[in-house]
Amino acid sequence: MPAPIVIIGSSNTDMVIRADHIPSPGETLLGGVFFMSPGGKGANQAVAAARLGGNVIFICKTGEDIFGYQSVEAFRQEGIQTSFIVMDKKTPSGVAMITVDRQGENCIVVAPGANGELFPSDLERAATAIGEAGILLLQLEIPLATVEWIASRTKKKGKTILNPAPACPLPESVLKHIDIITPNEIEAEMLTGIAIKDKAGAEKAALSLRDRGVETVIITLGPAGALLLHHNDFTLVPASPVVAVDTTGAGDIFNGALAVALSEAKRMEDAVAFACRAASISVTKIGAQASAPYKNDLHADPGLP
């Protein structure tokens, strides 16, 4: 069995409307199809990793409500270990309102709910599982203080990946305890102040993050793939050419797939290629978790590492 992947993060219910375009401020827009689906960056990454064969433990906080119960049951159906999930009687589960335009681009507003109440005290009974993780995967839809506590105070034997989304200023006390960081172009620019308009800009931003203490930097570039800075070497890993239907959750699929590949001891370059392939497949389908591919989907490509 591959090394365990512990993912600590958010769980939401996504409420999605497809529309001709993303509305401007003050604009009322008649949309098309409405549907609800499970989401949240942490949950998306956990489902992606589980479908790709990862040995996944997911830790989050939901409300003790219908959305929370449905989410936990869905995780179990995916084969995810849920014994450390906390349910809050006082705070509702998180929800996200998503508009997807005809080009597949999206606009998202999140009400964090119980995600914003996931504190270090909720993680104490999971300390052993966290410490024994082969891969620890974090995001920023839970309190930053909790992320900092996890990164700096838990004893770990594996690698820690931080997907810095949604982007916010990160203290050095977080960055110096992170092994791999995976921002997209916008997040990398917000973290470094360096505009990313081309490969040179992405390389400069990656070096800035590396110089702040992160061993490996992966900047995801959408349809252009991902820029990897590892062992002082740059590699531009291409994405598979596809027609995007919905980009919601693509970054989460990338991170879940990356965690799986690294838990299986793949070379970093091959792990990033694996993650790019998974993300490319995901944008051809609607939804976040619903679009997460299975391992057979990726291995259908004979050129996959």
**Average pLDDT of 119-131?**
93
Tell me the domain boundaries of the chain. Answer: 5-22+33-289
pLDDT tens per residue across span 151-197: 887 666 789 999 999 988 898 889 989 999 999 999 999 999 999 99
pLDDT of residue 14: 84
pLDDT of residue 153: 72
pLDDT of residue 1: 73
The catalytically annotated residue of 101, 252, 270, 301 is: 252
Of the pLDDT bands very low, low, confident and very high (cuts 50, 70, 90), residue 102 is confident
pLDDT over 50 (residue 114) = yes
Give the lowest-confidence range in 133-137, 254-258, 291-295: 291-295
pLDDT over 90 (residue 108) = no
pLDDT of residue 299: 72
Handedness of CA 188, 8, 144, 92 (dihedral sign): positive
CATH of 5-22+33-289, one of 4.10.80.400, 3.40.50.2300, 3.10.20.30, 3.40.1190.20: 3.40.1190.20
pLDDT of residue 105: 84
CA distance 91 to 84: 18
pLDDT of residue 244: 83
Our answer to whether residue 252 is catalytic in this structure is: yes
